[in-house]
Amino acid sequence: MKILAIDTSATACSVALSEENKLIAEYFINTSLTHSQTLMPMVEQLLKNTKTDINQIDIIAVNAGPGSFTGVRIGVAAVKGLAFANNTACISVSTLYSMAYNMLGADCTVCAVMDARCSQVYNALFKVNGNLVTRLCDDRAMSMADLKSEISRIGDKIILVGDGANVFDEFLNNELDNVDIAPINLRYQKASSTALAAFEQYKSEETLNAKELMPTYLRLPQAQRELNKKLGVKQ
C-alpha cells in the first residue's frame, strides 16, 4: 500500500512516498518561496523519480492543521485535487501528532510546539516508547507560560519538536533540566513522519474522501480576530 504524504503547515514544505512503514522517497525544502510555488513541482518530481503513477497511490495524507492558515489551506486543497480524479482515500493527520513520529526509537515525552504568535503556541504532548506513540492530550492553542507550567510537573525526559521549538526553548531559558530541544534534523515537521502517522491511522480505518477532507484550525485567522475585536465579539 503506497502513501503519498504532504506537509505545508509552516515555512518548510515536504512531500514523501512510503509503502506502509518503508520510506521510499522524501523531498524537503525550507525557503522563503511560497508553498503554491513549490508543492506541486515537488510532488511531480517525487512521482517521476520513483517511477510512480498517481494511479498507483492508495492513500494521500496531509498535515491538515494546526499551522499556518495559508499553508494548511494550500496543502489540503492540493490533496483534494490529487485525490478527486481517482477517488483516492485521504487521511487527515494532526500536524502535532505527525511530529511525534520524528522521535521514534526514543523513550521520552514529546512536546510538539508550533509558533502561534502573540506568545502562544499550538501544542500537544505525546509519549514515545520505541515505535509506540501515545497521545497524552488533545491539540490546543495555549500561552507559552501555561505550557511551561504544565510540563514543569512532568518528571520524564521531554523533547521539544516543531517550528516553535526554538522560541519556546528560549522562553524556558534553561529553567527545566529535563527538557531538551530535538536535533535540527529531527526538529521540524516533515512528510515522512506524516506518512508514518497516516499508516497508523489507516489501521484504525480513519480515511476520508476528497470532499470530506478539510483544514483543522485551533484559532480564527488573525484578520477575523481583529474584526471580532473591533465588533466587540468575544473571542
Check whether 9 has a pLDDT greater than 80.
yes
Q: What is the pLDDT of residues 107-166, one digit of tens each?
A: 999 999 999 988 999 999 999 999 999 999 999 999 999 999 999 999 999 999 999 999
Q: 173 and 206 in one domain?
A: no
C-alpha cell at 30: 525550507
Instruction: Say what the pTM is.
Output: 0.92
Cα–Cα distance between 3 and 20 in angstroms, integer?
Answer: 7
Say whether both 114 and 173 belong to one domain.
Answer: yes
Residues 84 and 16 in one domain: yes
Question: Residue 117's domain is classified under what CATH number?
Answer: 3.30.420.40
Statement to judge: residues 138 and 158 lie in one domain:
yes
CB 190 within 8 A of CB 28: yes
Confidence band (pLDDT; 50, 70, 90) for 106? very high
Q: Which residue has the higher pLDDT, 21 or 25?
A: 25
| Same domain as 109, residue 67 | no
- Number of structural domains, the chain? 2
User: Can you give the pLDDT at residue 20?
Assistant: 85
Same domain (yes/no): 222, 195: yes
Residues 111 and 87 in one domain: no
pLDDT for position 230 = 52
Q: Which domain holds residue 151?
A: 102-187
- How confident is residue 218, by pLDDT bands cut at 50, 70 and 90? confident
Do 163 and 222 belong together in one domain? Answer: no
* pLDDT confidence of residue 91: 98
pLDDT band at 78; cut points 50, 70, 90: very high
What's the pLDDT at 206? 87
Does residue 171 share a domain with residue 92? no
Report which of 66, 159, 152 is spatially closest to residue 111, judged by C-alpha positions.
159
Letter for the amino acid at 198?
A
> DSSP 3-state assignment of 9?
coil
